[in-house]
Structure 1
Amino acid sequence: MNDDTSSQSHRTRLWRDRLIMALLIGATAWVSLNVARLPGEVSAVWVSSGIFVGWLLSRRTELWPGYVGAGFVAELLVRLLSGDGLGLSFALSAFNLLEVLIVAGMVRRLVPDIGNPTRWLGLGGIATSSTLAACAVSGLLASAVVSATSHTPFLTTFLIWYSAHVVGMVIVATLTLVAHRKGIGLSDVPGRRWIFLSDMLLIAVVCAAVFYQSSYPLLFLVYPPLLYGVFRHRFAGVVAGISLLAIVGGVATALGYGPLALVHDSNIIQRTILLQLFVGTACLMSFPVALSMAERARLTARVRESELRYRMLADYSHDVVVRMRADGQRLYVSPSARDILGWEPAELLRPSQDLVHPDDRAVQQQTIASVLASGHPVTAIYRLRHKDGHYVWMEAAARSIPSADGGAAMDIIFAGRDVSQRVAAEQALRESRNELEALARLDSLTGLANRRQFDERLTHALGRPRRQGLAVALMYMDIDHFKQVNDSYGHAAGDEVLRIFGQRLSACVRSGDLVARLGGDEFVVLIEDLSAPATAEMIARKLIESMGEGIAVGDSILHVTTSIGIAYSVHPAVAKTLTAAADAALYAAKKAGRNTWQLLPTDDARGRL
């Protein structure tokens, strides 16, 4: 029931709307035919087609058939009541309908959304060209029919028809369309009503002064106030200004006044044609100005809206947004600088405020240079000075934008955020990783290098080229009868013996030599760039002497000794060969009675000897 009621209400509104359009078309057609008709059955003013086009463009295309039928019937009836014959009435009504369909069809096809401000310039060009073409088509057809049925010359009929329809279409179609679709932007008249009225009064006064005198050809004086009104009020200025020009000029010309009366041997038809051409020229001159001004206002509003939107984003962003010139001068600083850096934005606009950490200035300068050179965004991390003196780590994304001063220069936008916590976490993670790496290469009990570090160092020492005559020596050693220490005094005492042994061993070697614990009581010393085996023997002697001093463990003094095996190689050797020789030398030292050392060259070294 509700759907039926709604559908019935919609149909009622639709028929009412068609009836209103038909009444307006009929009324304006009656005025044109009975008041403004010139000899030859052609009217000097025709506004019905403009109403028709404006109404169609304000309705959906699928509803057009009903409106087309209502408009055609309204004009046909008015022509019949005005005394035109059936044939002439039908033909002229059909020609007017063809004119309406050409204009409305082209505009609807090429500019479907006439309320879209971005299409105003295109709409103006399409509407003007389609109007000129459609009025030409209808004028040629109507002039042929009228000339065949009357004594009016074809060219005269065409000029009257064409100019009357063009002027009516331009003024009335625009006014009708604007009345239906506020989105096209007639003007901001309600807010500037008295300014608008005063400007239109100026146009009316100038038009009256020009057209109610017949002594001087002053038609050109009409254009300045007309263009001024168009410049100030856009479409409202066009519609009202051209309407005033047409009314004042039409009445004055009909009464025999005005500059057009200066044309010798002219009659009312010729003066009317000239007036129509003058008004049409004013239309063609005014509409592009109105369209351009409307587009300029739209673009200005769009730019202002964009600036406000992006300014709001920058002002309320948690990131610090800075706009600066290529030389580093800051042009804009967002309010978030107050929360992150403690500075007021106005303070940071002073050239004297240099915030970048001295160690990071090169990073910022390189970032600016890279952005300006490549035009691509660049992200960098550096420190900025807080107002209280400490430095804040900032991650800044920089990109280039056109300079605020115009020209070919470029400015730079920085969007930076506080990453101090992240940097601190990364530094802590890096230190932890380094510490873990160090622990992975050190013996936890003695603090000496472990087997992993020893293997890496030995591989590197044997792989790199050595200076002529220099050798690599390897000393293997362990603590004599260390198992008895653990069994008699416990593992804690054994650990203490290992620690002190490692300390005494480290004190006996050179600064560049590597001391490592391989595990248990096994220790090793790697000596590089050895000029003679005596150096390794000297280290072994010093270690044995230092171990002659007892080791205090609790209330006991332990006396421990060590056996040492020494291997060396003059030529590049394989690690397996060198370690086997050192192990064999250690075995020889134990066999010799312990607390001593044995030196054993590798096979290559022995062959050289």
Structure 2
Amino acid sequence: MPRRLTLPRTYWADRAILAVLIAGSAWLSLTLARGPGELAAIWVGNGILTGWLLSRRTSSWPGYVITAVLAEMPARILAGDEPAYAAAIAACNVVEVLGVAGVVRRAVPDIRNPRDWMQLGGIATTATLLACAAAGLLAATVAHALHEQSFLPALTRWYTAHVVGMVVVATMTVVALRERLGLFIATGRGWSLAMTLTLLAAVTTAVFTTSQAVLFLAYPPLLLVAVRHNFVGVGLGVIVLALVAAIATTLGYGPFADSGAGPDMRIAQIQLFIAGACVMTIPVCLAIAERDRLSASLRESERHYRMLADHSHDMIARINADEERTYVSPSATDMLGWSSAELLGKRWDILHPDDRKHQRQAMQEVLATGQPRTDVYRLRHKDGHYVWIEAVSRCIPADDGSDRNDVMFAARNIDERVAAEQALEESRRELERQSRVDALTRVANRRQLDERFDLALRRMQRHPASLALLCLDIDRFKAINDGHGHAAGDAVLQAFAARLLACVRDTDLVARLGGDEFVILLEDVEASGAEALARKVVATMAKPFDVGAGVLEVTTSIGIACTTRQVDAAALMAQADAALYAAKHAGRNRYHIATP
């Protein structure tokens, strides 16, 4: 790749280059105009200065304007203008340049941004038309006063020459200052630009060496230059077109020289020819620049999208309305073991069977409402196990441009989160169970008894039934603790609770109130059934207890309270407790039924 050259940017060198360009273009334009006080067919200097100012800081403009004026004055005097006229016309040029550059700088601070070029084109064109008109009025007044030129022709010539020069040369100057020498030697441009400009010069020369009215033949190669090289091609092409037309006409060749028209008419014809070239090519360049900007923006958006999708830890999938995957990001391999290609064209095959129906409904809801939603479900890994994912689905336009929408899914693996939630739920259930179970005997505690008691009484309100409560404890339990130790006492309590559980139905509740006090809650049991259970418990406890420290004889006393109507829980408990004490007073190892 060729090394990109740069022009000097020091204070004096920058202004020296500007001075040479202004002086040279002014002398050439005035020489081709042929006559002191004449107004040129196309004025290049103002376009150069405007492009120079727009490429520099606003604070530096005064120095460049002074440089341009000091460079233009000698060129005008050398071409035959008297100093007063030269100074007045130079002042008109300053008004024009500052009018265009000032408006553009204020409206579009950064003219290098392609996003602003369409706006820049409209603003610059409007500013050029107005500023050239204002400066033309002043210049025509000066030409009329000092050289007795007709006001209206002078205004028309100035206006046309300066509008064309400003549009073409200012654009070319901005591009040239941005590209610098890379304008001519950049990779892929040099030979192509040289060849198209050579073709344009050859065709234009051929057109202006014949007396036939075939001026339109010069426009196609100019349009080719514009399409191939945008503003660079337009600027250089129009300059080539103008130089060939002006030189050939001055030397007496071409359709304009053979038309028999006077000098003013020939100049107007050249200006019209150049203006037509600008009107044809500059809008084309603006449209191409806007197309290129939009294409670049689209490519950049697609690049960002691809980068995010391809490198995201989440899996991105696109599914059309026919429920087929049209895109799956590479992260699917890390998450599910499948490659992106293996997942295309399929939808429901890797969903857990229990989740498919719900996810079909979810997708239809997203397509119908257009609202995003989040779902949790399972996908099958390539090795066979299922992975929990959380997916956000949302509607996006279809790729084929139809009215149908696609659905985009962004899914992440939440196996660890689900496992943690399940463990937390299990812990919660265990804590809940422990809060309702006696830690020593593993039977219900008082809290669970109160809950079941309350539910049983509520059911009795809706459906009359019988309810029985057995209060029981271990006879002479204190003597067991004192004689054999608390470890033996705990073992007796555990064995006692296990035998109680073996005696009751699954629907009955055995609870420990504390110490050696236990309760059995029976629903839908008559007094006879409660009495039968009490006999069974007494008989079961008669068998010796092997508690490790020895074999102990353990008996129990039971109090029974029954009811078939709504009753207060505390009252029924008090009746059963009173019956228990009655059994103890009667000699223990027996049961007693409370009188209703």
Q: Normalising by the residue count of structure 2, what TM-score does the alignment of the two structures yield?
A: 0.90
Residue 576 (structure 1) shift:
2.1
Q: Which amino acid aligns with 1:243?
A: I
8 Å Cα contact 1:124-1:287 kept in structure 2: no
Matched, 1:28 2:22: no
Residue 54 (structure 1) shift:
1.6
Change in Cα spacing, 1:556 to 1:46, as seen in structure 2 (3 Å) is closer
Matches within 5 A, 1:146-157: 146-150=143-147, 152-157=149-154
> Match of 1:67?
64
8 Å Cα contact 2:209-2:248 kept in structure 1: yes
> Match of 1:432?
427
SS in structure 1 opposite 2:424?
Answer: helix
Choose from 92, 100, 118 the match for 1:103: 100
Change in Cα spacing, 1:70 to 1:554, as seen in structure 2 (3 Å) is closer
> Match of 1:587?
581
Deviations 1:29-50 (A, max 9, x none): 1222223246862121211111
> Structure 2 CA distance, aligned partners of 1:177 and 1:83?
31
Matched, 1:170 2:167: yes
Residue 106 (structure 1) shift:
0.9
Change in Cα spacing, 1:111 to 1:80, as seen in structure 2 (3 Å) is same
Residue 13 (structure 1) shift:
3.4
Residue 494 (structure 1) shift:
3.3
Matched, 1:229 2:225: yes
Residue 525 (structure 1) shift:
1.1
SS in structure 2 opposite 1:510?
Answer: coil
8 Å Cα contact 2:36-2:79 kept in structure 1: no
> Match of 2:562?
568
Change in Cα spacing, 1:186 to 1:287, as seen in structure 2 (3 Å) is farther
SS in structure 1 opposite 2:351?
Answer: coil
8 Å Cα contact 1:30-1:78 kept in structure 2: yes
Change in Cα spacing, 1:135 to 1:185, as seen in structure 2 (3 Å) is farther
Matches within 5 A, 1:510-525: 510-525=505-520
Change in Cα spacing, 1:137 to 1:236, as seen in structure 2 (3 Å) is same
Choose from 235, 240, 243 the match for 1:239: 235
Q: Which amino acid aligns with 2:169?
A: V
> Structure 1 CA distance, aligned partners of 2:540 and 2:506?
18
Deviations 1:117-163 (A, max 9, x none): 22222222222211111111111222233234445433322222111
> Structure 2 CA distance, aligned partners of 1:103 and 1:412?
51
Choose from 119, 122, 144 the match for 1:122: 119
Residue 255 (structure 1) shift:
4.8
8 Å Cα contact 1:186-1:235 kept in structure 2: no
> Structure 2 CA distance, aligned partners of 1:257 and 1:552?
135
Change in Cα spacing, 1:369 to 1:441, as seen in structure 2 (3 Å) is same
Q: Which amino acid aligns with 2:243?
A: I
Residue 257 (structure 1) shift:
4.9
Matched, 1:535 2:532: no
> Match of 1:509?
504
Q: Which amino acid aligns with 1:382?
A: Y
8 Å Cα contact 1:333-1:345 kept in structure 2: yes
Matched, 1:159 2:159: no
Change in Cα spacing, 1:261 to 1:409, as seen in structure 2 (3 Å) is farther
8 Å Cα contact 1:40-1:151 kept in structure 2: no
Deviations 1:439-473 (A, max 9, x none): 22222333211122112222232244534431332
Change in Cα spacing, 1:188 to 1:340, as seen in structure 2 (3 Å) is farther
> Structure 2 CA distance, aligned partners of 1:431 and 1:498?
28
Q: Which amino acid aligns with 1:239?
A: G
> Structure 1 CA distance, aligned partners of 2:14 and 2:184?
25
> Match of 1:304?
299
> Match of 2:470?
475
Matches within 5 A, 1:124-273: 124-150=121-147, 152-182=149-179, 190-216=187-213, 218-255=214-251, 257-260=253-256, 266-273=261-268
8 Å Cα contact 2:36-2:81 kept in structure 1: no
Q: Which amino acid aligns with 2:236?
A: A
Change in Cα spacing, 1:481 to 1:222, as seen in structure 2 (3 Å) is same
Deviations 1:279-301 (A, max 9, x none): 11321332222122123223322
8 Å Cα contact 1:475-1:524 kept in structure 2: yes
> Match of 1:418?
413
Change in Cα spacing, 1:533 to 1:221, as seen in structure 2 (3 Å) is farther
Please, which moves more after superposition, 86-95 or 372-381?
372-381
Residue 262 (structure 1) shift:
8.1
Q: Which amino acid aligns with 2:30?
A: L
> Match of 1:346?
341
SS in structure 2 opposite 1:564?
Answer: strand
> Structure 2 CA distance, aligned partners of 1:207 and 1:82?
27
SS in structure 2 opposite 1:43?
Answer: coil
SS in structure 1 opposite 2:439?
Answer: coil
Deviations 1:154-197 (A, max 9, x none): 33222221111112112222222222223999699531333333
> Match of 1:4?
none
> Any unmatched runs of 5+ in structure 1?
1-10
Choose from 12, 18, 36 the match for 1:15: 12
Q: Which amino acid aligns with 1:458?
A: F
Please, which moves more after superposition, 460-469 or 422-431?
460-469
Deviations 1:323-356 (A, max 9, x none): 3324432222222222332222211124378222
Matched, 1:384 2:379: yes
Change in Cα spacing, 1:540 to 1:292, as seen in structure 2 (3 Å) is same
Change in Cα spacing, 1:252 to 1:302, as seen in structure 2 (3 Å) is same
> Match of 2:276?
281
Residue 359 (structure 1) shift:
1.9
CA RMSD of aligned residues (A): 3.0
8 Å Cα contact 1:38-1:269 kept in structure 2: no
Q: Percent identity?
A: 54
> Structure 2 CA distance, aligned partners of 1:529 and 1:183?
102
> Structure 2 CA distance, aligned partners of 1:208 and 1:393?
76
> Structure 2 CA distance, aligned partners of 1:467 and 1:135?
100
SS in structure 2 opposite 1:474?
Answer: strand
Aligned residues: 589
Please, which moves more after superposition, 132-141 or 290-299?
290-299
Change in Cα spacing, 1:184 to 1:173, as seen in structure 2 (3 Å) is farther
> Any unmatched runs of 5+ in structure 2?
1-7
Please, which moves more after superposition, 163-172 or 290-299?
290-299
Change in Cα spacing, 1:185 to 1:518, as seen in structure 2 (3 Å) is farther
> Structure 2 CA distance, aligned partners of 1:379 and 1:353?
17
SS in structure 1 opposite 2:10?
Answer: helix
Deviations 1:397-432 (A, max 9, x none): 334333322344333333333332332233223223
Q: Which amino acid aligns with 2:594?
A: L
Q: Which amino acid aligns with 1:46?
A: W
> Structure 1 CA distance, aligned partners of 2:563 and 2:531?
15
Change in Cα spacing, 1:435 to 1:128, as seen in structure 2 (3 Å) is same
> Match of 2:352?
357
Q: Which amino acid aligns with 1:420?
A: D
Residue 533 (structure 1) shift:
2.5
